[in-house]
Chain A
Amino acid sequence: MNGSFDQKLRRELARVAPPAGFADRVMANLPEGRGRGRFWLGAVAAGLAVLFTVGGIEQNHREHRMQAERTQRQVVFALFLAAEKLDHVNARLQRSAPDLTIEGDERGRL
């Protein structure tokens, strides 16, 4: 009875094949779904990174350009101020000593 009962149990509990398409369903749940999600997440992250990088570079360029323009304006203004002062000094000198003029190197030293 024991041997026969053991055999019956083995037969009833023999391994069975899973329903058709089981492996496909497992595989469908494994890498593709998760991979696709990761792909889009990666794509969005990469897109944002490019956007920020380009935007950052553009902003940097704009600031540099504005700074250069400010500097240029300041230099021009400084030269203008200097020239005006020189002209003013020159005019006063001419009024007090009409024969005296400041030329070239002497103007630079002032």
Chain B
Amino acid sequence: MLEYQSLVFSVAYHFLQASALAEEISQDIFLDLYRNLAKIESAAHLLFWLRRSTTNRCIDQSRKLAYRTEVPISDTFHPASPGEFGDTLLGESLRRQIARLPEWQRAIVVLRYQEDMDPVEIADILNIPVNTVKSRLHRALGTLRQALERKQRVRA
């Protein structure tokens, strides 16, 4: 379990931008894993199961809370291995923009850049066509890039 807790917690944290909620979801995921342990066939299956369960749970949670309207970026939690984005404000702005993306786009961005997965793997996890993953990723990156550029212009 120790090996995978960082994966699960990070997906939830980056998706929801709230450590308490991310921990709650992570705990639920591990409880589910405990109940379904007999169904896990291999390490690869476990990795797949954790990524899919966590992502689906985050999407559900996000819809339930209509999360995009209240993004608690300023959480008390400070990640143990924080990003080294030189400009903290721009980093925070980027995270805020990620948190505002529609659920599916957000899930794709998190899996792409946190888990370093390619569109085919992401499509498998989310159970959607590869082309849908590619188009949503393209759209999400466009939104994020524009927001970041706007922020940089304002600062300049």
Contact = CB atoms under 8 A, between A and B. Distances in A.
Contact of A12 (B1, B19, B26, B85): B85
A10 B111 CA distance: 10
A93 to B, nearest CB: 90
Interface in B71-102: 77, 79-85, 91, 94-95, 98
Contacts of B14: 13
Main secondary structure of the interface of B (DSSP, over half): helix
Contact of B5 (A1, A6, A12, A23): A23
A13 B30 contact: no
Nearest to B15: A13
A31 B30 CA distance: 12
Interface residues of A, number: 23
A18 B23 contact: yes
Given A5-B145, A12-B91, A16-B13, A26 B1 contact: yes
Interface string A1-37: 1000110111111111111001101110111000000
B94 A15 contact: no
Given A18-B6, A30-B31, A11 B148 contact: no
A99 B30 CA distance: 105
A59 B110 CA distance: 69
B26 A22 contact: yes
Given A5-B148, A18-B26, A29-B31, A13 B2 contact: no
Contacts of A30: 30-31, 34
Interface in B110-132: 110, 113-114, 116
Contacts of A1: 145
A22 B2 CA distance: 10
Contacts of B113: 6, 9-10, 12-13
Contacts of A13: 10, 14, 83, 98, 109-110, 113-114
Contacts of B27: 22, 25-26, 29
Given A8-B94, A23-B1, 15 more contacts: A1-B145, A8-B85, A9-B144, A12-B91, A13-B83, A13-B113, A14-B81, A15-B10, A17-B6, A17-B9, A18-B5, A18-B23, A18-B26, A30-B31, A30-B34
Interface of B: 1-2, 5-7, 9-10, 13-14, 19, 22-23, 26-27, 30-31, 34, 77, 79-85, 91, 94-95, 98, 109-110, 113-114, 116, 141, 144-145, 148
